[in-house]
Amino acid sequence: MAETDPECRVFGARRHQWRLAPPVPEAVVARHEREHRFELPASYRSFITTVSSGGAGPAYGLYEFGSKSWLDWQEDLDLLPVPFPHNGPFRPSPERSVCAEHAPGEEDFSPCWFTGSLVIADIGCGSFYRLVVTGPDRGQVWTDDLGCGDALSPGPDFRDWYGQWLSRSC
C-alpha cells in the first residue's frame, strides 16, 4: 500500500505512513490480561501477536498495544471485565442514562458507557474506534462518535473491520 500511495493521500496515512509496529510478544499480552482480568478477542489478539501491535489501519491507524498513547485513551482498565453495556446504537440523553452515577444533563462522558471496551484507533474530531472485549458483542469494533454529538454504533468483528479497510485502501 505504501508503494501505491507514496504521498500518503489515503485518509490517515500521513500519520501512520503505512508502517506497522512489530507484533507484541504473547507473554506481554497474557500478563496484561491477567493484570486487568479480561481476555482479548481472538481476532485482535492474533493480529497484535502475529501481524502488528499497531500502526497502519483505519482512520489515523491503530494505537500500538500497551504504548503510552494506547494507555492514554483507555478510560479505566479496571472496568474491562465489566460487560459492554450496549446491544445497539447508543445516544446519551437524560432519559437514557446507563448508570446511576451519571446525573441527567451532565455533559461529560460516564465511564460506565464504555465498560468492556478498548479504544484502538483515532478517527479524529473526538471520534474513536472501540474494540468490545467483554460481553455479548465481544470482538466487534464500534464507532464512538459521542464526542461529535452522534452515537456509539456497532460494527463488524475486528478481522472483518480491518479487512474492509484494507480492501478500500488498495
Whether residue 97 is predicted with pLDDT greater than 50 in this model: the reply is no
pTM of the model: 0.84
Mean pLDDT in residue range 53-58: 88
- Considering only CA atoms, give the Rg of the chain: 16
Helix (H) or strand (E) holding 142: strand 141-144
CA atoms within 13 A on the CB side of 3: 0
pLDDT of residue 85: 94
Q: Best-predicted range by mean pLDDT among 11-20, 50-59, 63-72, 74-83?
A: 50-59
pLDDT of residue 88: 94
106 contact partners, CB below 8 Å, separation of at least 6 = none
Mean pLDDT in residue range 21-50: 95
Mean pLDDT in residue range 148-168: 91
Please tell me the distance from the alpha carbon of residue 123 to that of residue 113, in angstroms, as a whole number: 19
Q: Where are the alpha helices (DSSP H) in the chain?
A: 13-16, 26-36, 42-50, 68-72, 158-169
Tens digits of residue pLDDT in 99-155 = 545 444 444 667 788 999 999 998 888 889 999 999 999 999 999 988 877 889 999
Residue 2 banded pLDDT, cuts 50, 70, 90 = low
